[in-house]
């Protein structure tokens, strides 16, 4: 396995590239607020950052797919359940769909909602993979899953309870959800590396 395709490197690259890249691109956009605007608005069809953001999203999605393939191989070698890796694979495919169909394309929201399936992967890693992967692997996975569920709830709450929090902070709420998942992927890759 080449060094670049090791789970630790893939997980760290996913988190680092997207968190830093999206922050930098948002900072470079005139009149863009990291606090109130969504990540998708950085790469919207009318944004001058459309192409750079789309390239970033495609690269990150490919890295997620590579990480899921690497973890699938690890699961097969160690007789772990492959189910969590399939959920992670669906996350990568949904992320790729988001990249290929920038907002306000109608398919953007379809792929955005389909990410929820991928957001379940920490739960399945936590309950189906043994603590042999890393010390406290189950606890850490379930903790991240709880953070992600909180993020999903807050992210979708404007639909049914728009007064739950000031919508001027929606950008932070969305970043909490996305960055929690990406930080989990960095942890997951590092934890899995010890089994290779």
Instruction: Give the confidence band of 91 by pLDDT, cuts at 50, 70, 90.
Output: very high
Contact 50, 28 (CB under 8 A): no
Query: Both tokens of residue 195?
Result: 């089994």
Question: For the segment 148-183, what is each residue's pLDDT rounded down to a tens digit?
Answer: 999 999 999 988 888 888 888 999 999 999 999 999
Domain of residue 75: give its range: 3-193
* Each residue's pLDDT tens digit, 59-76: 999 999 999 999 999 999
Number of domains in the chain: 1
**With pLDDT > 70 as the criterion, what percentage of the chain qualifies?**
97
Q: Read off the tokens for 172.
A: 């932070």
Give every CB contact of residue 41 below 8 A, 6+ residues apart in sequence: 32, 47, 103
Would you state the pLDDT for residue 196? 66
């Amino acid at each position: 396995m080449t060094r670049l395709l090791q789970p630790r490197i893939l997980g760290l690259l996913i988190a680092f590239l997207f968190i830093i890249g999206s922050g930098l691109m948002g900072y470079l956009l005139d009149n863009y607020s990291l606090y109130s605007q969504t990540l998708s608005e950085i790469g919207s069809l009318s944004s001058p950052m459309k192409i750079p953001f789309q390239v970033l999203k495609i690269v990150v999605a490919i890295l997620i797919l590579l990480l899921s393939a690497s973890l699938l191989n690890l699961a097969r070698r160690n007789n772990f359940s492959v189910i969590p890796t399939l959920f992670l694979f669906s996350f990568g495919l949904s992320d790729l769909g988001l990249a290929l169909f920038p907002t306000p394309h109608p398919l953007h929201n379809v792929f955005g909602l389909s990410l929820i399936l991928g957001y379940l992967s920490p739960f399945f890693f936590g309950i189906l993979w043994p603590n042999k992967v890393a010390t406290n692997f189950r606890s850490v996975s379930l903790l991240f899953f709880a953070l992600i569920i909180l993020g999903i709830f807050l992210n979708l709450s404007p639909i049914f309870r728009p007064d739950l929090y000031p919508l001027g902070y929606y950008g932070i709420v969305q970043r909490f959800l996305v960055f929690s998942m990406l930080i989990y992927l960095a942890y997951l890759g590092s934890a899995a590396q010890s089994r290779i």
